[in-house]
Amino acid sequence: MEQSVRTVGVLDKSVAVLRALADGPLALADLVGATGLSRATAHRLASALVDHGLVRRTDDGRFALGAELVGLGRAAAAGWPWGEAAGPALAALVEATGESAQLYVREGDARRCLLSRDSAHELRSVVVEGARLPLEVGSAGRVLRDPAAAGGDGWVASVEERAPGVASVSAPVRAADGTVVAAVGISGPVDRLGPTPGPRHGPAVVAAATRIASALPR
């Protein structure tokens, strides 16, 4: 049992290193600050991850995410075969609303961005594919946490919940049995979406959710 607990602790710390590097390359001192690990532990774990290809060293000696993660990410995405089919629905949603569109799945007490398509506007909301965001704030988070929040209109709107100046509208993607398997939505600046973006963009978001649901395996 003691060995098992010790192993889990190392794994947790290794994941902390990877998540810290998700925002970009870090020098060892910055990695220590981002993870709260001791300098020796951070260096030992990062170096071990380099050996496995999960982390690499940049030309200036900083630690960065490694190429091995690209293959793992593609393999993970293949676990949602309908996710690829959602691409055209997101592209159509961007065209219909002019805003960035995202597809999220629930991951424990958080949500993970599975797909993202950016708006053509210079001022836009950007969510990187693979980003892990909270369930407690944002329309997509609320949809995944409590699908009933969508109500009779089928959508949930939020204004400046997750980030200042950002609004969003999301809808649940339901399997044939009614289970919510994902949330699709748009996000953009409040100055463009306005203080009540739901009535304006909700129908397009719901239509995208229906289109994605039609691609789910039966």
The correct CATH number of 79-213 out of 3.30.310.50, 3.30.379.10, 3.30.450.40, 2.30.40.10 is 3.30.450.40
pLDDT for res 1: 39
Structure tokens given for 142:
């609320």
pLDDT digits (tens, 9 = 90+) for 85-106: 788 999 999 999 999 999 999 9
Burial class (CB in 10 A: 0-12, 13-18, 19+), 160: middle
Estimate the crossing angle of helix 28-35 against helix 39-51, to 10 degrees.
110
**Which residue in 66, 185, 93, 86 sits closest to 133, CA to CA?**
185
Location of structure tokens 């960035």:
100
Residue 80 has pLDDT above 70, yes or no: no
8 Å CB contact between 126 and 189: no
Determine the average pLDDT of the residues in 41-64: 95
Q: Where in the chain is the domain with CATH 3.30.450.40?
A: 79-213
> pLDDT at position 5, please?
35
Question: For the chain, what percent of residues have pLDDT higher than 90?
Answer: 66
Q: Is the per-residue pLDDT at 13 higher than 70?
A: yes
Over residues 162-191, the mean pLDDT reads: 93
pLDDT digits (tens, 9 = 90+) for 37-49: 999 999 999 999 9
Q: pTM of this prediction?
A: 0.73
* pLDDT greater than 60 at residue 6: no
CA dihedral 179, 105, 103, 170 (to 10 degrees): 60
Look over the chain and give the mean of its residue pLDDT values, rounded to a whole number. 89
Architecture of domain 2-68: Orthogonal Bundle (1.10)
Residue span(s) of the chain under CATH 1.10.10.10 come to 2-68
pLDDT at 89: 92
For the chain, what percentages of helix, strand and coil (3-state, to nearest 5) are there?
45, 20, 30
Question: Which residues neighbour 36 within 8 Å (Cβ) at sequence distance 6 or greater?
Answer: 16
Task: Tell me: pLDDT of 4 over 50.
Answer: no
